[in-house]
Structures are given as structure tokens and as C-alpha cells.
Amino acid sequence: MLVTAYGDPAEAELSIDGEKIAVTAAAPEGHPFDTLYSGWLYREPETRALEEDSFENPGMFGVEQGAELWSVVEGSAGKSCESCHANPEEDMKGVGASYPKWDADSKRPINIELQIDKCREENMGAEPYKFDAPQQKALTAFIKHQSLGMPVKLDLSEGEMQKWWDQGKEMYYTRTGQLNLSCSNCHEDHSGNMIRADHLSQGQVNGFPTYRLKQSALVSVHNRFRGCIRDTRAEFPKAFSDDLMALETYVTWRGSGLSVETPAVRQ
């Protein structure tokens, strides 16, 4: 199996800023795999080393930008994120490990990006960010980084989360596009095989926003989803659409037990 190409996964250790990162985990009940492997295990030693060293990890520039944005006052209410969450290291701890969550107001799951926009509109009187705005990615990375090393765990008992999980699962296994491919065809049927110049992982999202070396930028979950869908030559979905929120719910669950790695580094 590919994950042994750079050593035994059972012996691989990832530690960032003193936080031990679980790069393997027992799969939750009903998962197609017995053991979950972080995408970090599929990377070459040089890429692994970038993520291990927070001084070298280029994704940390986004985290630092998010830290600066935290205290920036915007909107008619004259508030910043800091106005409500003065100690983000504590206030945001665990948040990145538990989203998407059920939002009773919109009656759908929302991810961290949408929660940021909701807070901006309702609490700050500010405009929501456009999808993939640098500020949106930076704040999301900053928030998720506060949960570094914590295991991913979704609460599917909230609201109608289970229904959305079911919808996301259906999407994951549905072939689409001119190439007639599904998410599972790559990340389940061919996990560990080469695609172009990279290896196919199990498709975990516990490191997003992820710094992708080929793009020299932080990449959000929905950006990656849409990139895969584009590559199958299927209809390009709107970011934060119901379909993509359902898919994020299901795919996040598929990484249950793995540590939050944000910002992970990938090719």
C-alpha cells in the first residue's frame, strides 16, 4: 500500500508546535476503510518536513494574517472578532474539529467560512466575504489552527445533520461529468495510486485550508471540491451550495478521529 512507500505508517510521527498529530485512526462504524490515514502519510519526505516545521510551513502566513484580522474593527457595529472572542487560543479551541455544524437559522449545516460570514453580518454589521477571499481563508485557517492536534468529531444528532450526511454520502458515490467519475473512484478504489505526479490519498479534509505547493496558496475545502468536479468535466457547482455542504459534512465525518492539521501542506 502506498502509505508504506515512505515508511511504516504505524511508526510515522507528526508533531507540530509540541502538539502530537494523529496521522492514523480507527475508522468510525460504517466507514469503508478499517484504518484512516492522513494525507500527510502520502507525501514525500520534503513535503512532510514543511508541515512539521511551523517556521517553514508557508501556510502559516495565512494563519498569521488571520491573527491580525481578528482585532480589525469592521462594520456598522464597530466590532471585531476580538470584541466577542478576546482569547481566540481558548475561545476557538475545538471549533475547527467540530464543524460543519447545524445552523437552526438557515436550517442547514454551515462550515467555519459561513459562520464567519454570519458573525460579520449579524454581530459586526459588516459585509460577508466573497468566496475564497484571502481574508476568509486566513481567518478560517487561524480558527482551525487553534484546534491543532484535536480529533475531528462531528455531532450528527444536531438538527437534520444525519439527513445531510446521507445526501453527502450519495454524492460521494455518484459518478458525474463526461469522465463518469465519483469521489470514491479516486479516493477509495485507487487510494495510494499515482495520479499525474501525485499520490491519491483517502481524501481526508482535516488539514484544510491546506497550502498547496502547486498553487502557492491556501486552498479551501470547497475550492478543492470544485477543482475535482471540474476535472471530471461535470457542471461546476456554486460554493457553499447545498450539494457541497452535504459533501463537506460527509467527507469531514470520513476523517473522524484524525487530528486537525491546519494548515497542512500538500503538493
Tens of pLDDT, residues 147-186? 999 999 999 999 999 999 999 999 999 999 999 999 999 9
Q: What is the mean pLDDT of the chain?
A: 94
Task: Report whether 198 contacts 250 (CB < 8 A).
Answer: no
Q: Which one, of 48, 51, 47, 71, lies nearest residue 59 by Cα? A: 51
pLDDT at 70 over 70: yes
Positions marked catalytic: 228
Partners of 108 in the beta sheet?
103
198 pLDDT band, cuts 50/70/90, is confident
Instruction: Out of 12-26, 110-124, 239-253, pick the least confident.
Output: 12-26
Q: How far apart are CA 31 and CA 206, in angstroms?
A: 16
- Bigger pLDDT: 1 vs 53: 53
104 pLDDT band, cuts 50/70/90, is very high
For residue 160, the Cα-to-chain-centroid distance in whole angstroms is 21
Q: Regarding the domain delimited by 60-145, which CATH topology (the fold level of the hierarchy) does it fall under? A: Cytochrome Bc1 Complex; Chain D, domain 2 (1.10.760)
pLDDT at 243 over 80: yes
Domains of the chain by residue range: 2-58+151-266, 60-145
Q: Which one, of 154, 177, 159, lies nearest residue 248 by Cα? A: 154
* Consecutive H or E run containing 101: strand 101-103
Burial 22-35 (b: 16+ CB within 10 A, else e): bbebebeeebeeee
Domains 2-58+151-266 and 60-145 alike in fold: yes
CATH 1.10.760.10 matches 2-58+151-266:
yes
For residue 120, the Cα-to-chain-centroid distance in whole angstroms is 21
pLDDT at 7: 67
Read off the pTM: 0.95
Task: Report whether 226 contacts 172 (CB < 8 A).
Answer: no
